[in-house]
Amino acid sequence: MEPKLAVRDLDLHFSEKHVLKNISIDFPDKKIIALIGPSGCGKSTLLRSLNRMHDLNPKARITGSVLLDGQPIYGAKNDPVEVRRKIGMVFQKPNPFPKSIYKNVAYGLSLYGSMKKSEIDAIVKDSIVDCALWDEVGDDLDKSALELSGGQQQRLCIARSIAVKPEVILMDEPCSALDPISTAKIESLMLKLRNEFCIVIVTHNMQQAQRVADFTAFMYLGEVIEYAETKTLFDNPQKELTQKYLNGNFG
Amino acid sequence: MKSSNNNSVQWFGIKALALCAFIVVLFLGIILYDIFSKGFSTLGWDFIFKYPKKGMTEGGIFPCIAGTILVTMITSIFSIPIGVATAIYLHEYAKDNLATRVIRASIRNLAGVPSVIFGLFGVVLFVDGLHMGSSLLASGCTLGLMTLPYLITTTEEALRNVPNAYREGALALGATHWEAIRTNVLPSAVSGIVTGAILGLSRAAGETAPILFTGVSFYLRYLPASVFDEFMALPYHVFILSTQHHAIEQVRPLAYGTALVLLLLVMILNILAFVIRYKYRNLNRL
């Protein structure tokens, strides 16, 4: 099957530091793929290179390619803004804008500038409903998003990114700042969103990877060591490094 | 023994610091008391809304108040757009290289240049060079130049205080860099920018040296009719009444009254800055 997102021979340097080393990996559509590995292994850096978030960092130098539906996303011909509309991102720390709930979700849509108010209203509502947040905030969308709890804020950030109808959603440790109940809500939300999107998630939590991910990639020192179906990777890792990491004796 | 010694050293240190703080407040208090007590009796509608009479020994200071307000308005029109734009460029777009570091260092150094130097520069550039003559416009631009370094620095500070997550969040939703700045960064920084601008302008309003050679006048019977006319201004009026007047003792109450009006004007601007900051901080917390 044609991968939704494909990484080919990707190398990334921050100044002199070689952070990602010759990475090639396929992300299939309508699946959840987890990136795991010890801190500093480059998994967040890889995630951020999938929607050109390194563009504004003058120290970052990238070679190789990332293909969305077979089309390269890097290169002068491709507008990073277009890329990011198709490949959304949810950050580690919930980052709602200091605006109302409505304006947060409508933010991406309002940038298009040509939509009718009624269309935007409908999409805002759908996105909030899809993120299982409507029951909690539906009665007052004019409330500031900063008044919500951390878990609600993160679900709002997910609603905000699905409102622009992306094709891929990148999540950078979306639950690491949240309590177990909020985490469970986000996880069930991810499983629901899997029906529509390709989701790539960076996580430190191996139970989480096992609960939600169809595929898991183990990264170490800037390389993808092993990439397989989640159950295979956890039950029967092929590489010694992976076994060591999963057994928790690393160092 | 040793610890009690340390304790007494600490006690003495804290008291010394408190004393220093007290001295600062004391001098501020003395200055304020002096000006309020001697200037307050002069204040009144006539003083504020009438023209000076009989060689400035009687009457009001309306043209000075109007002149200071007008020149400050020109200063803000000139300096706020350029200052804010410069800060946005430096903080959001410019790469961190030798050139931007030199520019930043120059801006910091400009902030320390004595205002009289700005005055002389204003004569060369605006009055003569650009043929503005001795005028409101030349003075406003000179004060604007003087205010720019402060404005740029405070605006950059305000932009630095906007969490990077606001920029990245907007970019991740398909905003261009400028859209992220316009719709997300600037609204969060606006309170810092506005307070910085008001404080910078309140400083400009009280300056004498930059307007001295570029447009202020000793005495005028009319308000400036255009930006190319000369004007009267509060700080210069205080200077005239307290050092250059032919009857200094006689006009002393007027000098104090003028100083008080200038002080109140600056205080109002400062309170305004404070209110804006307070209001926006609460808004952002909501």
Secondary structure in 3-state letters for B77-124: HHHHHHHHHHHHHHHHHCCCCHHHHHHHHHHHHHHCCCHHHHHHHHHH
Q: What is the mean pLDDT of residues A157-183?
A: 91
Write out pLDDT tens, residues A199-232.
999 998 889 999 999 999 999 999 999 999 999 9
Question: Residues 150-189, chain B: which have Cβ within 8 Å of A?
Answer: 163, 165-166, 168-177, 179, 183-184, 187-188
Cα dihedral B248, B249, B252, B254 sign: negative
CA distances in angstroms from B89 to A241, B93, B153, B202, listed in the order given = 47, 5, 12, 25
Quick count: other Cβ atoms within 10 Å of Cβ B42?
A: 20
| Predicted pLDDT of residue B57 | 74
Write out pLDDT tens, residues B226-238.
889 889 999 999 9
Q: What is the mean pLDDT of residues B256-265?
A: 92
Tracing tokens 């004796």 back to the chain, one arrives at A249
Say how far apart CA A79 and CA A181 lie, in whole Å: 39
| Predicted pLDDT of residue B286 | 42
| Predicted pLDDT of residue A50 | 94
Quick count: other Cβ atoms within 10 Å of Cβ A50?
A: 20
Q: Do B174 and A98 touch (CB under 8 A)?
A: no
- pLDDT higher than 50, residue A17: yes
Residues whose CB falls within 8 Å of the CB of residue B32, separated by 6 or more in sequence, listed in order: B263
> Of the candidates A53, A88, A111, which has its C-beta nearest B168's C-beta?
A53
**Residue A135 · residue A155 · CB < 8 Å:** no
Q: Is B105 exposed, middle or buried (0-12, 13-18, 19+ CB in 10 A)?
A: exposed
- pLDDT higher than 90, residue A159: yes
Say how far apart CA A216 and CA A201 lie, in whole Å: 9
Categorize the per-residue pLDDT at A235 as very low, low, confident or very high, splitting at 50, 70 and 90.
very high
Q: What angle do CA A43, A45, A48 make, to 5 degrees?
A: 110
Say how far apart CA B211 and CA B216 lie, in whole Å: 6
Helix (H) and strand (E) counts for chain A? 10, 10
A202 CB within 8 Å of a chain B CB: no
**Residue A44 · residue A34 · CB < 8 Å:** no
Tell me which residue of B258, B252, B253 sits closest to B236, measured CA to CA. B258
Q: What is the distance in angstroms between the Cα of A56 and the nearest Cα belonging to chain B?
A: 9
- Determine what percent of chain B is predicted with pLDDT higher than 90: 61
Q: Which of A14, A87, A89, A97 to mutate to test the interface with B (most CBs of B within 10 A)?
A: A97
Write out pLDDT tens, residues A74-121.
988 888 898 999 999 999 999 999 999 999 999 999 887 778 888 899
Q: What angle do CA B256, B262, B265 make, to 5 degrees?
A: 140
| Predicted pLDDT of residue B218 | 84
Say how far apart CA B183 and CA A53 lie, in whole Å: 19
> How many whole angstroms from its chain centre is CA A18?
23
Q: Do A95 and B165 touch (CB under 8 A)?
A: yes
Of the candidate ranges A48-57, B150-159, B179-188, B239-248, the one whose mean pLDDT is the lowest: B239-248
Please provide residue A236's backbone torsions phi and psi, each rounded to the nearest 5 degrees.
-145, 65
| Predicted pLDDT of residue B45 | 85
Q: What is the distance in angstroms between the Cα of A244 and the nearest Cα belonging to chain B?
A: 35
Say how far apart CA A163 and CA A141 lie, in whole Å: 15
Say how far apart CA A55 and CA A34 lie, in whole Å: 24
Q: What is the mean pLDDT of residues B203-214?
A: 91
Tell me which residue of A185, A152, A155, A151 sits closest to A169, measured CA to CA. A155
ipTM over 0.95: no
For residue B79 the two structure tokens come to 């300096």
Q: Work out the mean pLDDT of chain B and round it to a whole number.
A: 89
Q: What is the mean pLDDT of residues A176-199?
A: 90
Please provide residue A216's backbone torsions phi and psi, each rounded to the nearest 5 degrees.
-135, 135
| Predicted pLDDT of residue B96 | 84
For residue B181 the two structure tokens come to 């700045």
Say how far apart CA A246 and CA A210 lie, in whole Å: 12
| Predicted pLDDT of residue B60 | 83
Tell me which residue of A108, A101, A165 sits closest to A133, measured CA to CA. A101
Cα dihedral B62, B67, B72, B77 sign: positive
Residues whose CB falls within 8 Å of the CB of residue A125, separated by 6 or more in sequence, listed in order: A134, A138
Please report, as a single letter, which amino acid is at residue B102. V
- Tell me which chain A residues have a C-beta less than 8 angstroms from the C-beta of B164: none
Q: Is B19 exposed, middle or buried (0-12, 13-18, 19+ CB in 10 A)?
A: exposed
Say how far apart CA B221 and CA B208 lie, in whole Å: 20
Write out pLDDT tens, residues B31-75.
999 999 988 888 888 888 888 887 777 788 899 999 999 999 999
Say how far apart CA B122 and CA B101 lie, in whole Å: 26
Q: Work out the mean pLDDT of chain A and round it to a whole number.
A: 90
